Amino acid sequence: MLFGLSAFPSHLERLLTTLNDLVASRVPLEVFEQPLARQAILNLYPPGNGISPHIDLPHRYADGILGVSLCGGCVIDFSKEREQASKRGDEAYSVYLPPRSVYVLTGEARWQWAHGIEGRTHDIVLDDQGVKQTVQRGLRVSVTFRWMKEGGEVLS
């Protein structure tokens, strides 16, 4: 859903305010202070579902993508754009998003790395001692906040 300035439903405004308080010291200030229209996407992911690797529409959305992973956890995969990866040698990373986690994509992570979630019912993660553990996926709810670029709402 697309909302105008400060026109999120009150529960999303409260969530965004809480997230701002939690991550403000780690994120460029302008991520939360952009005056353009904002977008909130709510997705429901049953175990076995994922999302193809992608970079959120660079011509439409500004720097700063904020995601919240609720209920179930999962592994999110990051891969460098092919031309950039061949130059630097860093091609892919996987990160476990436990339930109730937050991620922020800004700068290079926003513009040059694709992110996606493999469709599977479980993930292999390392515990605190570096031992591989199988973690079954549960129902996952994702809330993603994005800020539109000026003119980004116009479809051509």
What is the tens place of the pLDDT at every residue in 10-39? Answer: 888 888 888 888 887 887 777 767 665 578
Number of independent structural domains in the chain: 1
CB 23 within 8 A of CB 145: no
pLDDT band at 112 (very low <50, low <70, confident <90, very high): very high
pLDDT band at 63 (very low <50, low <70, confident <90, very high): confident
Domain boundaries, position 22: 2-148
pLDDT band at 136 (very low <50, low <70, confident <90, very high): very high
Distance, CA of 93 to CA of 41 (rounded, Å): 24
The one-letter amino acid code at 78 reads F
Hunting for tokens 């977008």 — which residue is that? 39
Residue 154 covered by a domain: no
Distance, CA of 62 to CA of 47 (rounded, Å): 31
Residue 155 covered by a domain: no
Residue 105 covered by a domain: yes
CB 117 within 8 A of CB 103: no
Give the residue from 98, 85, 103 showing the smallest Cα distance to 144: 103
pLDDT at residue 4 tops 50:
no
| Confidence at residue 74, expressed as pLDDT on a 0 to 100 scale | 97
Residue 123 covered by a domain: yes
Distance, CA of 112 to CA of 109 (rounded, Å): 6
Residue 153 covered by a domain: no
The whole-chain average pLDDT of the chain stands at 84
Q: For the domain that residue 127 is a member of, what is the CATH number? A: 2.60.120.1520
Distance, CA of 91 to CA of 28 (rounded, Å): 25
List 132's β-bridge partners, or say none.
126
